[in-house]
Structure 1
Amino acid sequence: MDKREESEVINGGRDVKNVDRCDACNGALTAGLETWHFVCGTCGLEHSTLQPQINEIESIDEAEREKALKPIRVHNFGVLLDWLRGRTARPAQAGAKPRLLDVGCAHGWFLEQAAAHYDVLGLEPDAAIAKRALARHLPVRNGYFPQALQAQEQFDVIVFNDVLEHIPGVTNILKECAARLPADGVVVVNAPDSRGFFYRLSRVFTRAGRQASFERMWQVGMPSPHLYYFNTKSMHRIAAASGFKVVAERALPSIVAKGLYDRINYAGNVSKLRSAVMTAGILALLPFMKLLPSDITVWVLAKQAD
C-alpha cells in the first residue's frame, strides 16, 4: 500500500484539511478555539483538521502509556461490561457466545475482560501496539476497520472504546458497521463528551490564552489525534444518518484514584513535584467531582427497522 492509499484508508476518503460541513448533520461549521478546531452550529459536533499519523510517530513510550492509562481503562471496562451484558448479549445458539468486535483494541484490555461473555476479536492499526497484544496471545489483527475483516465476517456487537472520535467519516464508518451486524446487533460507542467538566474547563483556559489542556484533550501531536468531540445531540444525528438509533446511554468516571499520579505525570510538561501536588489536590476533591458532568459517555446504537 503506497502513502496515498494508506492516507485514504486512514481518512476514510475524507479530506481532513478542508472540513466545512458537519459529518453528523451536514450543517455549516464555524471556526472554533484554534485554527484546526470547528463546531457545528446545528448539532454541536466538534471537528478538527488534525492529521492522523499512525505508524509514523514513534516517540511514545508504550510502557509508560500503559502504566498511565490502564487503571482508568480497566476500571471503566468492568463497569461498561456489567452494564452492557443485558443489553447486548444475544441468546447463545448451540452453546456459542455472541461475537464481539473491538475496533482499535490497543493493548487488548477490553478483550481480556469481555472474553468471559463474548467470542472476541480485536482490530488494531498501530503495528507496534498490535504486536504487544499478540505477544500476550490475544485475538488481535493488525489493520483498519473494515479493511482487516474477511468479506462475510459478522458480529453481534461492535465496540469503539475511545476510538470512534479518532476515525474520519464517522457516518460512513457506522454504515460499515451496519453491514456487519444482524438485525438485532448493536454498536457501542465509548467516547469523550464535550459536555464534560474538564473539557469545558479546558475551553475556558484556552480563551484565557492557556491552550495546553485543550490541546491535550484533542491529543495534538499524538499518532491518532481526536477528529471529533461528541455529545448526545450530535450522537443522535450521527446514528440517524447511519441507519441507527440511540437506545441507551450512561456516563463513566473520568477519574479514579488508582493510577492518578501516573496519568497526570504522563501528560507531559509537568514536573514530578507538580504532578504529586495535583494528584493530592484531585484526590481530596474526588468525592465532589463525582457530582460534576462526566467527560466520558457510552452510547448504545441499535439498527433502525427497514
Structure 2
Amino acid sequence: MTDRDMATFQVGEQCPACLQMMRPGLQPWHRVCSRCTYEGSTLLVDIDVAGTADVVDEAMREEGLNQLRQSNFEALEADIARRVTAAGGERPRLLDVGCAHGWFLEAGRPDFEVLGIEPDAKVADAAVARGLPVRRGFFPDVLDASEQFDVIVFNDVLEHIPDIGAALRACMRHLQPGGWVIVNAPARTGVLYRFSVLMARLGLPASFERLWQKGLPSPHVHYLDDDSMQAIAGHAAMQVAAVRTLPSLTARGLYARIRADRSVPAAKAMLVASVLSVASPALRILPADIKVWMLQAKG
C-alpha cells in the first residue's frame, strides 16, 4: 500500500476478530458482528497528510487534550517501563505510532530510546521543531525492514486504522523477542459509549456519531472490548498479557476538546462540557471508556 492508499481506505465487511460477516448496526455506516462482540464502521478514513483541512481546530484540540493526555501518558509510561527489559542491558527502544504532538515521546524519554511516526505534516513538523525524533509518514512504511523495538505503542490510533490485522502483523515484524504492543483505545464496554448506544436506539444519534468521530478526517473504524482484542491479537500470533484502564475526560480542557470539531456550535459545546463536568465524579467509578490492552507474542 502507498501512503495515499493508507490515507484513504475504507474498512471491509468481515469481522477482524472472528472473521464472520458483519451486519448493519444502528446507523447506515455502523456494523456489528453476527457472532461476536466486535463493532466497526464503514466510515471513510481520509487522513489530512498535508495538514490543510479545516475540519479540526488543532490548537483547540491540543489545549483540550493536553492535561488529560499528559496525565494518562505518565501513568501508562511508568507501567510499561516496569514491564519492559531490553537485551544486553541496553535502553529499550519504544516506537509511538501516530505520535501527534509527541507527548508520549516526552513521557518515555527517561526510560526509553524513543521514536515517533506521524502522518499529519503540520503536527509532525511541530513535534520535530521541539526536538523530538519524529518521522513523517505511515507505519510501517517509514521504517527500515531491519528496525526493531521493545515496545510499539498505539495511543488512540489503532481504532482509526482500517486494516487492524495488518497493523498488528507489521508490529510482529518490528518487535524484539519478548517485546510489547500497547493498544490504548476507546472501549465499547465504557459507560459513555453504552449511553450513546441507548440514545441512538431512541432516535438521538448525535452522541453516538460523536464517539465514532463521524465527519472528521480520521473517524473510528473499530470499537473493541477484551474478547475482540484477544481474538484480533490471536490472528497476529499475539495475546493480551495485561489490561488496565485510564480516565477518559477531565473537566479542565473539556470545552476546548469539544470545540476542536469546528462543526460544533459554541453554545452546544458549553452545554455538553457542563453536563460532563457535573457527571465526571460518577464516571470515574463506572465502566471505563478507555482501556489499555498490553499484547505479547504467544508463548
- TM-score scaled by length of structure 2: 0.92
Question: Which of 165, 180, 183 lines up with 2:177 in the alignment?
Answer: 183
Residues 199, 267 of structure 1: alpha-carbon distance in 2 compared, 3 angstrom cutoff? farther
2:85 counterpart letter in structure 1: R
2:165 counterpart letter in structure 1: T
Aligned-residue offset at 1:238: 0.5
Identity, in percent, stands at 44
Question: Which of 69, 79, 85 lines up with 1:73 in the alignment?
Answer: 69
Aligned-residue offset at 1:281: 4.0
What corresponds to 1:38 in structure 2? 31
1:39 counterpart letter in structure 2: V
What corresponds to 2:210 in structure 1? 216
What corresponds to 1:256 in structure 2? 250
Q: Deviations over 1:130-154 (max 9, x none)?
A: 1111111110000101000012101
Kindly indicate whether residue 62 of structure 2 is the aligned counterpart of residue 62 of structure 1: no
What corresponds to 1:164 in structure 2? 158
Aligned-residue offset at 1:280: 4.1
* Equivalent pair of 1:10/1:167 in contact (CA under 8 Å): no
2:164 counterpart letter in structure 1: V
**Secondary structure, in 3 states, of the residue corresponding to 2:177?**
coil
Aligned-residue offset at 1:43: 2.4
Kindly indicate whether residue 40 of structure 2 is the aligned counterpart of residue 47 of structure 1: yes
**Secondary structure, in 3 states, of the residue corresponding to 1:186?**
strand
**Secondary structure, in 3 states, of the residue corresponding to 2:178?**
coil
In the alignment, the residues of structure 1 paired with residue 48 and residue 277 of structure 2 have an alpha-carbon distance, to the nearest angstrom, of: 36
| Structure 2 segments unaligned to the other structure (5+ residues) | none
| Structure 1 segments unaligned to the other structure (5+ residues) | none
For these two proteins, the number of residue pairs brought into alignment is 296
Aligned-residue offset at 1:35: 1.0
Residues 235, 134 of structure 1: alpha-carbon distance in 2 compared, 3 angstrom cutoff? same
Kindly indicate whether residue 26 of structure 2 is the aligned counterpart of residue 27 of structure 1: no
Kindly indicate whether residue 16 of structure 2 is the aligned counterpart of residue 9 of structure 1: no
Let me know the Cα RMSD of the aligned residues.
Answer: 2.0
In the alignment, the residues of structure 2 paired with residue 67 and residue 232 of structure 1 have an alpha-carbon distance, to the nearest angstrom, of: 31
**Secondary structure, in 3 states, of the residue corresponding to 2:6?**
helix
274-283 vs 192-201, which moves further: 274-283
283-292 vs 22-31, which moves further: 283-292
* Equivalent pair of 1:43/1:237 in contact (CA under 8 Å): no
265-274 vs 248-257, which moves further: 265-274
What corresponds to 1:85 in structure 2? 81
Q: Deviations over 1:75-101 (max 9, x none)?
A: 1111211222212x205735x310000
* Equivalent pair of 2:57/2:262 in contact (CA under 8 Å): no
Q: Deviations over 1:174-196 (max 9, x none)?
A: 11101111220010000000011
Residues 83, 206 of structure 1: alpha-carbon distance in 2 compared, 3 angstrom cutoff? same
1:163 counterpart letter in structure 2: V
Aligned-residue offset at 1:277: 4.7
Aligned-residue offset at 1:106: 0.6
**Secondary structure, in 3 states, of the residue corresponding to 1:156?**
strand
Instruction: Pick the structure with more strand per residue.
Output: 2
* Equivalent pair of 1:194/1:230 in contact (CA under 8 Å): yes
**Secondary structure, in 3 states, of the residue corresponding to 2:153?**
strand
1:25 counterpart letter in structure 2: C
Aligned-residue offset at 1:276: 4.2
- TM-score scaled by length of structure 1: 0.90
